Structure 1
Amino acid sequence: MSSPEVQNRPLSQPIPTRRMMLAATLLATAFAGGCLQPLYSENTTSTVGGSVRSALKSVEIPQISGLTGHYLRNELAFELDGGGEPDVQKRLRFEAKTSESIEVVTVDYNTGRADSAVLIATATWTVKRIGGAGETVSSGTNVVRAPYERSSQRFATVRAARDAQIRAAKSLAQLIKGQLAADLVSG
């Protein structure tokens, strides 16, 4: 039901402020819509030539030391290349060092054993051009935290720690891919 004041309002009264704000927001959104371009589009050019997507596929990823480094290398190969197209000429080289530490979160005071822990994985990386002066295209340091439960059963604790390493490597790979793609955009 409407109040009689609203129904009988003369046409000379101004439009309510809420409607004006909504109209202004919609108008601004319509104008800004043409300014945005998807990062992984074939039309987005990279600083190394071609599209950002093709530049990501041209990254060579050598072995990385350590178990977390091994998982990170596998995840990056999938994230950047999608697991296909072996014919792509490699123009960039990825170099990384990983480190990890464990932070004990809670301790059972009756047994003195840690109930849960957090794996802190750090990746320090650079991407350089292959050949020539080896110019650095992108670099960074990323840190992720992967919590896991510890058990009185040794195998369960070892498996939970391994799963935390895999989760940390996946998170690091996604962060690195996003940062690398953003650094590769030209203009």
Structure 2
Amino acid sequence: MHSRRVILGLTATLLILASGCTVRPLHSSAGLNTGLTKSVSIQSVDTRVEQQVRNRLLFLLNGGERQPAAPDYIAQLTVSSSTSGILKTRNTNDDSDNSASRVTLRGVLSLSSSNGEIIGTYRRSAIALFDRSTQQFANARAEIDAQNRAADELAETFRAILLTKIPTGN
């Protein structure tokens, strides 16, 4: 009887304490876009992979809104992609080859103020793995999907850089 009262008392105390807590996901976008990133314009790019990174970064920064007409900061983005094989196996039952490959995106983000003062140039990379088979279309699609996954990762990395490098006084 005594231990039951103790357990109920502890449970009630924990519930009361927990009700005062506010918990947010660690990677939540709520509260991070306090106007800092809405003052950044990302210049146009040329390749499909660069466009994937740019689109994802714009969405992360502006939440789908258009870029600012008079930005305080201008970001120039350059991304290169390379693909390499990392494992190859031979299936003796049907003479098919299966292999694993790696897509590596190397990105450079140059951040400058609207008056041309260079704030910094930041180099990062992202890797995504994919499997190859004997089907050409499946291989092409798997490589594109891997590039897109790496592009999302690279965009999130560049967003973190922008959030730390843009002064909070704006």
Q: TM-score, normalised on structure 2?
A: 0.71
- Secondary structure at the aligned position of 2:43 is classed as coil
- Secondary structure at the aligned position of 2:122 is classed as strand
Deviation string, structure 1 residues 100-124 (Cα, Å, up to 9, x no partner):
1112111124668451100000001
Q: 1:120 aligns with which of 104, 129, 146?
A: 104
Instruction: State the distance in 2 between where 1:109 and 1:144 align.
Output: 29
Counterpart of 2:58 in structure 1 is 77
Counterpart of 2:132 in structure 1 is 150
Q: 1:102 aligns with which of 77, 83, 90?
A: 83
Using a 3 Å threshold, how does the CA distance of structure 1 residues 105 and 114 change in structure 2: closer, same or farther?
farther
Structure 2: tracts of 5 or more residues without a match: 1-28
Per-residue deviation, 1:186: 4.7
Using a 3 Å threshold, how does the CA distance of structure 1 residues 142 and 76 change in structure 2: closer, same or farther?
same
Whichever residue aligns with residue 40 of structure 2, its letter is: V
Counterpart of 1:55 in structure 2 is 36
Per-residue deviation, 1:53: 2.9
Instruction: State the distance in 2 between where 1:152 and 1:159 align.
Output: 13
CA contact (8 A) 2:105 2:127 kept: yes
- Secondary structure at the aligned position of 1:53 is classed as coil
CA contact (8 A) 1:103 1:117 kept: yes
RMSD: 2.6
Instruction: State the distance in 1 between where 2:45 and 2:66 align.
Output: 22
Structure 1: tracts of 5 or more residues without a match: 1-38, 43-51
CA contact (8 A) 1:104 1:116 kept: yes
Query: 2:162 matched to 1:180?
Result: yes
Length, aligned pairs only? 139
Instruction: State the distance in 2 between where 1:40 and 1:184 align.
Output: 18
Whichever residue aligns with residue 125 of structure 1, its letter is: L
- Secondary structure at the aligned position of 1:83 is classed as coil
Q: TM-score, normalised on structure 1?
A: 0.65
